[in-house]
Amino acid sequence: MLFSRFFAPTSKDAPSDAQIISHILMLRAGMISQMASGIYCWLPLAARVMEKISKIIDEEQSRIGSQKVYFTTIQSADLWIESGRYDAYGKEMLRIKDRKDAPFLYSPTNEEQATDLFRKYVKSYRGLPLCLYQIHWKFRDEIRPRFGVMRGREFLMKDAYSFDLDPAGATRTYQQMFRAYVRTFRRMGLTPVPVQASSGAIGGNMSHEFHVLADTGESTLYYDQKILSASDDDELMSTFAVSDEKYDAATAPLREDELMVSKGIEVGHIFYFGKKYSESMNAFVLDANGNKVYPEMGSYGIGVSRLVAAIIEASHDDRGIVWPEQVAPFDVTVLNLYPDDAKCREIAAWIHDSFSASGVEVLYDDRTISIGEKLADADLIGIPWQIIIGKKKIATGLVELKNRKTKEIEEMPPEKLLGRFRS
C-alpha cells in the first residue's frame, strides 16, 4: 500500500476535546472520525486493527466449537417484551418504529434473539451443547459516552450465547470460554486480569470481567498480586480478584496491605445465568426420556472496538502508538526519506513489491514531505517495524531496519530484509 494513496489523515495537534491518550492518538493517527457523541467512523488503519482482533477472536472461538453467525442489529420489540426486558432496559435502548408503526430496537445485546433462534430449531437434547457467536455492532444510548471509542454508544462487540443440558455441562462451557478469553487477550499482547463480577442487567449467578490494567480505566479492581503472574488458567480462576461492585473489605481473604487496588478497562465479560431466558421464552428440548428440559445458558462478550483503544492505552510511548505485532495494521512500513532520489525510489519500490508479493503487509511512505514529518508519522501510527531508506546508507548498499518499540536499528542489505518477515 502506498501512503500517498492511503486514507490516514494524520495530524500533529492534540485534539482539544480528547482526555485520554488512546483517544488522542486514535484521532491524531487518523483512525477514527466522530459522527455524533459516542458514534464514530472507523478509517482504514482502525478497520485493519479491528479485523486483526476479530480474526484472533474467530480462531479462539472456533477452537472451542463456538460457531459464527450474524444475528440482526434491528430486533423486533416482541422478543424483549416476552423476556421482560423491554421496559427494564430503559433509556439505554434505542427504540425504532417501522413504517407500519411496529416497534423495533437496535440491538444492545442479543440474548433474546439467540434464545428465539434456538427454540425455533433445536427440539432435542441431541442438539446440545450449542454455542453461537457473532461480531456485530451494538447500540447503547449511554448517558455519558466518553473517551472516544472506549465508552461509545455504537460499538463492535463479540457476543456468544451457549446452551447446555445441565449445570455441569454449562459450567464446563463457561470454563472453556474463560480459557479461550485468556488465550484471546494474550494473543493480542495484553495481560488480562479476570475478576469476579456482578451480572447487572444480564442477570444470573456466575460472572467474570476481563480487564486490562490502566490508570485511565473506569473500573476499580481489588486483587491478589499473584494474578498478574499466574500462568495457568486454574490459578487465574482461583486467585482472589473482584470488581468494585463485588468488593467487600469484610469478606476479602487478604489483609489490606496484601491487597492490590488498580484501575482497569473492561474488555470482556462472561455470564452464566442458567434458565433465565430459556424459561421466560419457553425454549426447551426433550431429554432422552421425553421430558421437557429448559437449557442452561450463558453469554460471553468482548468489546472489540474498545479493545483497539485498550491496546493503545497499554502500548504507546511519547511519540505515538506501539502496536503489538499480532494486531498491527501493517507488518512493516517503508520510509523513503528521499522520494526525489531515483536510487532510493527504486529500492523502496522493490521492497514494497517483493514484500507484498510474499504476503507481508507493508505501508510504503512514498510521500514528498519533510524527513521529520515522515519519521513522526511513522512513530505516531506505530507499525512495529520501520525500514528506513536514506541516500548515504543506500550508497553503501544498506538500509535500516528499526524496531518501533525498542528503537533498535539494524543495518542490512535490502535483499536480506524479506527473510526477517516471512514466517
DSSP 126: G
CA distance 161 to 112: 10
Angle between the 21-28 and 304-314 helix axes, to the nearest 10 degrees? 100
- For residue 31, give the H/E element and its range: none
Q: Report, in Å, the least distance between residue 149 CB and ligand 5CA.
A: 7
Q: Which three cell numbers stand for residue 423?
A: 514466517
Closest CB to ligand 5CA among residues 151, 276: 151
Binding-site ranges for ligand 5CA (CB under 6 A): 109, 111, 140, 142, 151-152, 155, 157, 159, 202, 266-269, 299-301, 303, 305-306
Q: How many CB atoms sit inside 10 A of residue 390's CB? A: 17
Between 265 and 383, whose beta carbon lies closer to ligand 5CA?
Answer: 265
CB nearer to ligand 5CA: pick between 152 and 384: 152
Grid cell for residue 360: 507481508
List of residues 6+ apart from 57 with CB closer than 8 A: 135, 158, 184, 302, 304
> Phi/psi class of residue 84: alpha, beta or left (left: φ > 0; alpha: ψ in -120 to 50)?
left
Q: Closest separation between CB of residue 309 and ligand 5CA, Å?
A: 9
Whole-number minimum distance, CB 247 to ligand 5CA, in Å?
18
Q: Which CB, 179 or 269, lies closer to ligand 5CA?
A: 269
Q: Shortest gap between Cβ of 184 and ligand 5CA (angstroms)?
A: 12
Q: How far is the CB of 66 from ligand 5CA (least distance, A)?
A: 12
Q: In terms of CB distance, is 10 or 299 closer to ligand 5CA?
A: 299
CB-side neighbour CA atoms (13 Å) of 149? 33
Phi/psi-derived region of residue 280, left when phi > 0, alpha when psi is between -120 and 50, beta in every other case: alpha
Q: Minimal distance in Å, beta carbon 129 to ligand 5CA?
A: 17
Closer CB to ligand 5CA, 60 or 379, in the complex: 60
